[in-house]
């Protein structure tokens, strides 16, 4: 079974019906073909959206994370790896580096609409989104 | 789907049910290494996988955000001017700064 890490852009596109990527993956997850993970950065960014000020959206957001994903804990090892990625100048932003490090250390494929920001990291597996 | 022995599942029933209920985990129960049953989250009657996948599909689309893509949202939150400036500072920083 593939273990996939969902980036914020993919989650936003699902909740705004911009594309079918996450919707299709949720169906695959139900069949036992993939397992979907997110980390604290994705949670933080999703909850940064101004829509969340509305209690209806707040409750839905909580449900989405409870029902769809396994939340992966990020700790010291991921921090060290993210630091190494930043030192090597393959990825400029701390948040991107933590996501990449989490994927590398847990053998996840990263599902993102922002491939260009992660493309210089050779160790990182990127999920190919069919267009 | 993770496999769990029926003995392990029985001895930690409450913990496993918490994971099924709160994290949507699914398990294949085995007896003497042979799969015998599946434990999956309970959906309301008639709520199929497709219905679950559609449950929040487009739920957050509003007049204000309807033209903003996921990448644009992330650029706004994660790649703000301040974050990019900090990144640039890191790029220009080298060990000579320690001297």
Residue whose entry in the numeric block shows the structure tokens 């920001």: A117
Q: Is the pLDDT of residue A131 over 80?
A: no
Q: Which residues between 17 and 76 in chain B have a beta carbon less than 8 angstroms from any beta carbon of chain A? A: 22-26, 41, 49-50, 52-62, 64-66, 68-71, 73-74
Complex prediction ipTM:
0.87
Band the pLDDT of B90: cuts 50, 70, 90: low
Name which of A8, A15, A66 is nearest B74 (Cβ-Cβ).
Answer: A8
| Residues B65-75: b if buried by 16+ CB within 10 A, e if exposed | beebbbbebbb
Q: What does the alpha-carbon distance between residue A29 and residue B1 come to, in Å, rounded to a whole number?
A: 9
Q: What does the alpha-carbon distance between residue B75 and residue B54 come to, in Å, rounded to a whole number?
A: 26
Both structure tokens of A43: 């949670």
A51 touches B: beta carbon within 8 Å: yes
Q: What does the alpha-carbon distance between residue B56 and residue B9 come to, in Å, rounded to a whole number?
A: 32
Name which of B58, B70, B86 is nearest A8 (Cβ-Cβ).
Answer: B70
The Cα-based distances of A111 to A37, A58, B5, B14 in angstroms read 10, 24, 32, 33
N- to C-terminal Cα separation, chain B:
54
Encode pLDDT of A97-110 as tens digits: 999 999 999 999 99
Q: How many CB atoms lie within 10 A of CB A130?
A: 6
Topology at the third CATH level for domain A2-126: Rossmann fold (3.40.50)
Domain spans, chain B: 1-43, 60-94
Q: What does the alpha-carbon distance between residue A83 and residue A26 come to, in Å, rounded to a whole number?
A: 32
Chain B residues touching residue A48 (CB < 8 angstroms): 77
Is CATH 3.40.190.10 what the domain over B1-43 is classified as, yes or no? no
Encode pLDDT of B19-58 as tens digits: 988 877 888 899 998 888 888 877 655 566 677 788 899 9
Q: Is the pLDDT of residue A1 over 90?
A: no
Chain A residues touching residue B90 (CB < 8 angstroms): 86, 92
């Amino acid at each position: 079974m593939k273990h996939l890490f969902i980036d914020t852009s993919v989650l936003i596109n699902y909740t705004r019906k911009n594309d079918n990527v996450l919707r299709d993956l949720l169906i695959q997850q139900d069949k036992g073909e993939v397992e979907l993970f997110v980390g604290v950065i994705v949670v933080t960014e999703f909850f940064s959206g101004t829509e969340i000020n509305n209690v209806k959206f707040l409750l839905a957001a909580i449900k989405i994370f409870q029902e769809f994903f396994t939340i992966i804990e990020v700790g010291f090892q991921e921090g060290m790896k993210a630091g190494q990625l930043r030192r090597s100048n393959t990825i400029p932003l701390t948040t991107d580096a933590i996501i990449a490090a989490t994927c590398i250390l847990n053998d996840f494929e990263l599902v993102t609409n922002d491939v260009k920001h992660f493309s210089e990291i050779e160790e990182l597996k990127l999920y190919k989104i069919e267009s | 789907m993770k496999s769990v022995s029926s003995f392990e599942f029985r001895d930690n029933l409450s913990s496993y049910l918490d994971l099924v209920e709160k994290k949507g985990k699914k398990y294949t129960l085995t007896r003497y290494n042979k799969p015998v049953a599946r434990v999956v989250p309970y959906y309301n009657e008639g709520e199929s996988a497709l219905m679950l996948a559609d449950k929040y599909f487009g739920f957050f689309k509003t007049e204000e955000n309807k033209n903003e893509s996921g990448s644009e949202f992330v650029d706004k939150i994660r790649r703000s001017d301040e974050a990019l400036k900090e990144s640039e500072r890191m790029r220009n920083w080298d060990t000579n700064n320690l001297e």
